[in-house]
Structure 1
Amino acid sequence: MRTQIFLRILLTLHITGIVIMAGTSFIDYFTFKLFWRFADHGDNRSLGLLPLMSRYGEFVRIGGVIIIATGLAMLLLVKGVWWEQSWFKIKMALVVMVVLNGVLFGNKLGTKFREVITNNSTDFIQQTAPLRTQLNRFYILQLTLFFVIVLVSVLKFSRSEE
């Protein structure tokens, strides 16, 4: 009985970590779109969003730590049973994709984006056009991956159901 209660507490914390990561990614994308809405109209408020946008990564990392810690704890609690289930393998592959997309593309593109804007504030719209497109693709892919992770987790299909 205690194991079930502990498992539910860990699951609640795990979902909280996912909400933090996915929610922050959504807000980051929303802020990114707002930045361009202002910038395209020559509104200097766009530059005021940069410090805010640079802080979002901290929340994503906090959510990631929560997800990893609670995920490992739950896996230990169920004695690795999930390793045998196809939904879990798919979920793990998707989680790896989220992490790699964030580390390999998101961080680098975001840092480069802020540097170009900070260093070339008068001509940044033309210079950041390729970055703008790449970042837009990054956000859409990241949010799609989060959606599919949640979907797979909720459906939890197994080989016997296929």
Structure 2
Amino acid sequence: MNHLFSIGLFIHIIGITCIAGGSIGGLVLESHIWKHIHESPEKVHVLGPLMSKYPVIIQAGTLLMLFSGLLMLGALGWTVAGQWWFIIKMLFVVALVLNGMLVAKPNGLKLRKLVPRLVKGENVKNDINKIKRNMTVFHISELGMLLIVYLLAIFRF
């Protein structure tokens, strides 16, 4: 059983790293987008399609975490499932998924629709600023929740 737990832990760490890496990569890409959005929207038009790649990495990491979490729970005889640190961790994992689905995805789709209009010269500055605010809040909350998930996974307190 101990090897099963170790394998699960290894896969779990890979999953968490995919989630964190995808989030940070998306944040870096967005910082380039916000930097160029008003002065050279054609650059943003080229970078825009990359925005849809980072959620795939994050979703793959989430699936790895889910699979490996079940593997580790099975190896431990499901005893951890009732501990408060684990319950809190699961709430944050669910919050991470919901944050991506309800905040990041809709705002990313809106931005992808607005960029071609911006390239054509339409005034969409207010809409873009609203999306930028929403995405800033998303990234701050996402990174904060990831940090909490890391801490709970490591220290189990």
TM-score, normalised to structure 2, is 0.91
Aligned to 2:69: 71
Aligned to 2:134: 134
Aligned to 2:25: 27
Aligned to 1:160: none
Aligned sequence identity (%): 27
Structure 1 residue 139, shift from structure 2 partner? 1.1
- Structure 1 gaps, min length 5: 158-162
Of the three residues 66, 70, 88, the one matched with 2:86 is 88
Distance 1:62 1:42 in 2: 33
Q: For this pair of structures, how many residues does the alignment match? A: 155
Structure 1 residue 156, shift from structure 2 partner? 0.6
Structure 1 residue 106, shift from structure 2 partner? 1.2
Structure 1 residue 124, shift from structure 2 partner? 4.1
Instruction: Determine whether 1:102 maps to 2:100.
Output: yes
Distance 1:154 1:64 in 2: 17
| Conserved? CA contact 1:39–1:125, under 8 Å | no
Distance 1:43 1:131 in 2: 15
Distance 1:100 1:92 in 2: 12
| Conserved? CA contact 2:4–2:71, under 8 Å | no
| Conserved? CA contact 2:36–2:44, under 8 Å | yes
Distance 1:127 1:89 in 2: 38
Give deviations 1:54-93, integer Å, cap 9, x for gaps: 2211111111111111111211221111122221111011
Distance 2:138 2:82 in 1: 31
| Conserved? CA contact 1:24–1:56, under 8 Å | yes
Distance 2:75 2:3 in 1: 11
Q: Kindly report the root-mean-square deviation, in angstroms, between the aligned alpha carbons of the 2 structures.
A: 1.5
TM-score, normalised to structure 1, is 0.88
- Structure 2 gaps, min length 5: none
